[in-house]
Amino acid sequence: MTSRLMTQPYHAPPRASFLQKLGPGGVASLGLAILTTLGLAGLPWLFRLRQVLLAVPGDEPRETDAILVLGRQLEQDRLTPVFEARLSQAESLWREGLAPRVLVAGGTTGNASRSEAAAAREWLLARGLPDAAVHLEERSQHTLENLFNVRCHMQAEGWQTLVVVSDPLHLARAKATAHGLQLKVWCCPAAEAPPTRGSLGWWGRAALEGFLLHWYHTGMLYSRLIGSRSQLERVT
């Protein structure tokens, strides 16, 4: 009789550092993203920045199996204004009947003593959502892990579709990541999430998201080119 060792894709540990979050190939893909941005006079970043801005309005609302709220690191164990805005938007969609349940993704990050999802659950229950309508994913440390673990949850529950709620400038990266994982999603912006649209902080966040989106696509291409199974298992 023979046995085969089954491995699971890399997951960052709770309260992971930046380097721990990178995982297999993360440093290489980050380096390539920086080099291609600089070497091509910023054109890859500008292209992705345009995609970030085009995604800000989100998609037309439609009924789905669940509303997914992407997590946000807590500050002193409390929700940030950005996270609260995401949850408020999800609550509104749930009350409108777009989905029968809300799924919140986010593990224990930073210096928090509880998971992002647990803090969000407390917020949603305090606003009258029934316990059975709130589902949690408490392992992930960043957007990619949020969606990877959510896919496992969806498969276990038999769900097919999601509406993803996040702040407007995050939607392009969230949607690209979801599509890379073969998830059928529509995106809805938490329009009240800070920073104020058009402010210096808003443009700074847009610039960062443009680079992060370029990094994501660079990592996908790099993983395919080198044929790394360990890297592709995390993103596809």
Predicted pLDDT of residue 20: 86
Single pTM value for the model: 0.92
CATH topology classification for 66-189: Rossmann fold (3.40.50)
The CA radius of gyration of the chain, in Å to the nearest whole number, is 18
pLDDT at 7: 53
Asked if residue 137 lies in contact with residue 150, where contact means CB atoms within 8 angstroms, the answer is: yes
CA 212 from chain centre, in angstroms, equals 12
User: What pLDDT, on a 0 to 100 scale, did the predictor assign at position 226?
Assistant: 86
Written as tens digits, the pLDDT of the chain (236 aa) is 333 334 577 888 898 888 888 887 889 999 999 999 999 999 999 999 999 999 999 999 899 999 999 999 999 999 999 999 999 999 999 999 999 999 999 999 999 999 999 999 999 999 999 999 999 999 999 999 999 999 999 999 999 999 999 999 999 999 999 999 999 999 999 999 999 999 999 999 999 999 999 999 999 998 888 887 877 787 78
The pLDDT of residue 120: 98
Residue with tokens 């919140």: 104
Domain ranges (residues) in the chain: 66-189
